[in-house]
Amino acid sequence: MTVILSAEDIEAGYNSRPVIKGLTFSVRDGDVLAVIGPNGSGKTTLLKAVLGMIPLRRGRLSFSWKKGVDRERLIAYIPQRMEVDRTFPLSLKEMLGLSLPGAPVEKYIDMLELRGLLSERVGDLSGGQMQRALLAYAIIKEPQLLIMDEPTSWIDAKGADCVLCIMEEFRKKGIAMIIVSHDFSVIKAAATSVLGLGPEGYFFEPVDSPLIDEKLMSLFGTLHHNACITCKPEKGLG
Amino acid sequence: MEVLDYPFMRSALLMGLILGILFPLMGVFVVTRGMSFFSDFIAHAAILGGALAVIAGISPPLFLIPYSIVVGLSASMVWNSFPLSRDTVLGVFYGGAIAAGVILIAVKGLSQTYLMQFLLGDILLISPLDIWLSAGLLAVFLVFLKLNLRKIVKSSFLPEVSMAEGVSVRAYDYVLIGFIAAAIALSVKVVGVILANAMVVIPAAAAKTISRNFRQFMFIAPLVGILSFVSGTVASFYLNIPTGPAIVAAAFVCFLAALAIKGVSA
C-alpha cells in the first residue's frame, strides 16, 4: 500500500495560539483514518491544515499524488456544516456538474436517493437532502483522498448507512479517507486507524489495536457517554 | 425609426447592447459573491479618476480603466490583509475617493457641468473609442467565462470546498474585480457614476429572482440588461428625459416584474 499522506511533527493554529501540536501520522491508500477528540481539540483545524487552508507553523505534510493530475481531481472535502447561499439559482444537477467535468454522476445519485431531485433548486432542498447532495458532489469524482468532517451528523440513519456503504466501496477501491466523527459506531464500522486528539496529547493507533479502548478511555474518560467503542458496537453499522 | 437617424443615438444604442450583455453577466457574479457594494464603490471612485484624467489631459476611458482596476485591487488587498471587513474598507475608500474627487474638481476649477456629466452620464459623450473598448472587454470577458465558468460558479457557491480542492477563490475574486472595475469605468459616460452600479446589480437581481437554475440565470440577466438599455435609451429620446436614469428606471420596472412573476408562481 502507498502512503498517500504523511504528517511529521505538524503544528497549526490561529493567530498566536497553536491548536494542534507535534502530530505525526500517515494515511495509506484504502485507509480510513478516524479523527476523534473532545470539542476544541483541533479536529477541524487538523483537516484545514491538511487541506492547506491554514498554514503549518512547524513540521511537514507530504502527499504522494498521482503525477500530473490536478489537485481538484485528487482531493474531496465535505465540511462539518456548510452554510450555502440558498438564494443561489443552481439546480442540483448543475451543482453536481461543478464537481469535475465527466464525473460519473449517475453512479451515485440512486444510492443517495437524489435522482428525483436533480432539477430542484439546491436552495429548496431540506437539510438532510443538502447534506446528501454535498456528499454526492464530493464522491462522484472518486478522489484519491476524501476528507469528511462529521459526514453523518445531518442525515438520517438510512443516509448514515449509505455513507458507510460508500466508505466501504471507496476503501476497496484504494481511496484514502480521513473522517472526523463523534459517532463511535461509524468509527468502529469504517475506520482502519484512529487519531485521537486531547488536551494531554494525541494517539495514533490501528482501530484493532488492543490498546485502543484504553486510549479512548483516557481521552474521553471525563465524559459519561460514548466512553468506549465497545459500548455501542451494534448501532448504525449498516 | 427616427431614433436611428441620429449618429449619437446609434452609438448610444450600440453601446447599450454591449453593456446590456456585459453588465448583467458580471452582475451574476457580483450578486452571488456579495460584491454589490464593491461595484458601487468603483463607480463613485470614478469621480476622482475622471478629474485626474481631465487634469492629466488623458482620455477618460483610457485612464479610468487602469485607474479603476488599481483602486479596486488596492481596496481588496486592504480587506484581505487587515482585520477589517470588506464593507468597512469599501466605506472608507468610498468616502475618501469622493472627497478627493470633489476637492480636486473645486481646486482645479472644473465646471459643475463636468461634475453633473459624471454623476448622471451623457450619451452625447460616447465616442467610437468607448464602443470599441466596451466590445473588446465583452469579448475578453466571454472568453474568460468560457474557460473558467465551472470554477467561478464553484468558488461562488462552495468557497470553502473550492479552497480545499485547490481552486483559488481569491484569485477569481481579483480577476472579477478587475473586470468589474473596467466595465464600470467604461459605463460612467452612459449612465453616470450614481447609476452605473445599478445596471450591474438590477438585471442580475431580477434574473436571480425568477431563475430555477444557473443556465436560466445566465440567459435572463443579459436579456433584462439589453431590454433595459435599449428601452431606456429610446424612451429618453422620445420623452426628452436623461438617458442614464431612464435606463435604470427600465431595469427597475423589469425587477418589479420579476418580483410579480415570482409572487404569482410561488
Hey, which residues 118-137 in chain A have their CB within 8 Å of chain B? 119, 121, 134, 137
The pLDDT of residue A67 is 72
Q: Output the 3-class SS for chain B.
A: CHHHHCHHHHHHHHHHHHHHHHHHHHHHHHHHCCCHHHHHHHHHHHHHHHHHHHHHCCCHHHHHHHHHHHHHHHHHHHHHHCCCCHHHHHHHHHHHHHHHHHHHHHHCCCCHHHHHHHHHCCHHHCCHHHHHHHHHHHHHHHHHHHHHHHHHHHHHHCHHHHHHCCCCHHHHHHHHHHHHHHHHHHHHHHHHHHHHHHHHHHHHHHHHHHCCCHHHHHHHHHHHHHHHHHHHHHHHHHHCCCHHHHHHHHHHHHHHHHHHHHHHHC
Q: Is A83 in the B-facing interface, judged by CB distances under 8 Å?
A: no
Which residues on B lie below 8 Å from A88 (Cβ)? 32, 156-157
Q: Residue A123 corresponds to which cell in the numbers above?
A: 436552495
Which residues on B lie below 8 Å from A138 (Cβ)? 161
Q: Is A69 in the B-facing interface, judged by CB distances under 8 Å?
A: no
* Cβ contact B157–A90 (<8 Å): yes
pLDDT digits (tens, 9 = 90+) for A36-92: 888 888 888 999 999 988 889 999 998 887 777 788 888 999 887 777 888 899 999
Q: Is B139 in the A-facing interface, judged by CB distances under 8 Å?
A: no
Which residues on A lie below 8 Å from B208 (Cβ)? 87, 89
- Cβ-contact B110, B54 below 8 angstroms: yes
Amino acid at A20: I
Split chain A (238 residues) into runs of 10 and give each run's mean pLDDT: 89 84 91 89 90 90 80 87 83 92 81 88 87 87 89 73 83 90 79 87 85 78 47 39
Q: Identify the segments of chain B with pLDDT beneath 70.
A: 114, 266
Q: Is residue A51 a part of any domain in this protein? A: yes
- What is the C-alpha separation between A48 and B55, in angstroms, rounded? 50
* Cβ contact A72–B157 (<8 Å): no
Report the number of distinct structural domains present in chain A. Answer: 1
Q: Is residue A219 a part of any domain in this protein? A: yes
The pLDDT of residue A229 is 47
Q: Is residue A105 a part of any domain in this protein? A: no
Q: Is residue A97 a part of any domain in this protein? A: no
- In chain B the domains, ranked by start, together with CATH numbers, are 2-265 (1.10.3470.10)
Q: Is B166 in the A-facing interface, judged by CB distances under 8 Å?
A: yes
Q: Is residue A111 a part of any domain in this protein? A: no
Residues in chain A: 238
Hey, which residues 48-67 in chain A have their CB within 8 Å of chain B? 51-53
The pLDDT of residue A235 is 40
Q: Taking the model in full, what pTM does it have?
A: 0.83
ipTM over 0.85? The verdict is no
Q: Is residue A91 a part of any domain in this protein? A: no
In total, the C-beta contacts within 8 angstroms joining chain A to chain B are 72
Determine the structural domain holding residue A172 and report its residue range. Answer: 3-85+143-231
Residue A53, domain CATH: 3.40.50.300
Q: Is residue A194 a part of any domain in this protein? A: yes
Q: Is residue A118 a part of any domain in this protein? A: no
Which residues on A lie below 8 Å from B168 (Cβ)? none
